[in-house]
Amino acid sequence: MQKLHFLLVMWDGGGTLPPELTIARKLIQQGHSVSVLGEDSMEQEVLAARCQFFRYQYAPNRIDRSPSANPFPDWDGGSPFKILKKLLFESASAYAQDVYEACQHQSFDRILVDGFLIGGLVGAEAAEVPHFAIWPALDLIPHPGRPPDGLGLLPSKNIFKKYRNQLLNSVFIKVLKSGRKQINQARNNYGLVPLLHPFDQYHQAEEVWLLSSVHFDYPIHPPKNLRYIGPQLDDPSWATARDLSHQKKEKTRILVSLGSTYQAQKEVYQNIITALGELAVEGIVTLGNVYPSSAFECTSNVAIYDNASHHVILPTCDLVINHGGHGTVMKSIMAGLPQLVIPFGRDQFGNAARVTYGQMGHRLSKNASPKRIKAKIVELLEDRAFTENTIKLAKKIKEEIDQEKWKSFLY
């Protein structure tokens, strides 16, 4: 097998790193070499994956994960469309220039570009290197059969709701068509022909990978170059392995995780902790390094960790309360655990909707009171059907992962 040099083009979207770096580690295990083009805040995780690191010179580049350093803040009441346009379109020329210049300084055999970085795809096309768009979860592109994810809507056979979903998808596509000028300007810089819609850039890639499961998504009609590769579930390198084997489990154990990037989730954490304190359960709260454990009022039956490896904890648990991040949702499914999902934004509403669609758990508003949270916890623990439905889906996804279909697309 030919040994190849891959360039992985990423941004620090929090949950975007672990699945994409999982792919990098797998490539390295096969004898390939991987370089990563990304932000300074990612450097330690990239190096821990044994990849070479190159920092952005032109594209947005945060120095750390503090809220003030985030170039795409989404917790302060700003329009999601405005933030999305800034990432997809306004920064496109900068991402394109970084990728193109990287290819002038080093030789790469394949380029894998995070699906949010359309400009990176432009740079890869301009450099004339075979390239793939790689989404760390499901993609944000509307497809027939899939309602718009940002609203957390469900598919429907009801003619009126079906029409509503189609109309909302059309509006989404039309609104984002406004980025065509910026994408075509980036393309024009390298003599590439203009596109009718920014999303047409994905059709220029060899493949578009979704690091998720076809069994988790709604039934859709995907374009020919779209592939479900299966979820990539490695924990981040900074996650501490909390050994619970020495602790005798005497109560129902519940894991709580609301992500590894700031989304103003402190009050929700406290409400969950309060709810757990009123139940005869054992709670394990992991903060993803977003807050220090000292920031919370704790009860005797709840342990709070600044960070922790979920792979170690999940097999000992009975329920997971999370924010709807794709990685946490998928790890919980693979562990066969029902979920209480409290989404804040991004793709979390869509993931929460899929959990409820598959009858694997419940969704709550981030404004839910401790009393409401407590009631949903009790309901999920008492009804075994949520666990059984989750175990069935986990079996299907495991078969999908075992096939490792992504390998054949690279050579």
pLDDT at residue 109 in the model: 97
pLDDT at residue 293 in the model: 92
Helices (H), 286-384: 310-313, 326-334, 348-357, 370-382
Res 65 pLDDT > 80: yes
Segment 210-269, tens digit of pLDDT: 999 999 999 988 889 999 999 999 999 888 888 765 566 778 999 999 999 999 999 999
Task: Flag whether the pTM goes above 0.75.
Answer: yes
| Structural domains of the chain, ranges and CATH numbers in brackets | 5-205 (3.40.50.2000), 252-398 (3.40.50.2000)
Name 115's Cβ contacts closer than 8 Å, sequence gap at least 6: 133, 134, 135, 136, 139, 140, 202, 208
Q: Report the relative pairing of strands 131-135 and 252-257 from DSSP bridges.
A: unpaired
Q: How confident is the model at residue 337 (pLDDT cuts 50, 70, 90)?
A: very high
* Whole-angstrom distance, CA of residue 366 vs CA of residue 344: 7
Segment 362-410, tens digit of pLDDT: 999 999 999 999 999 999 999 999 999 999 999 999 988 766 555 655 5
Segment 104-135, tens digit of pLDDT: 999 999 999 999 999 999 999 999 999 999 99
pLDDT at residue 403 in the model: 65
> DSSP string spanning 246-290?
TS---SEEEEEE--SS-SS-HHHHHHHHHHHHTSSEEEEEE-TTS
Segment 71-88, tens digit of pLDDT: 998 877 667 788 889 999
pLDDT at residue 246 in the model: 58
Q: What is the mean pLDDT of residues 284-289?
A: 95
Mapped onto helix, strand or coil, the DSSP state of residue 43 is: helix
pLDDT at residue 409 in the model: 54
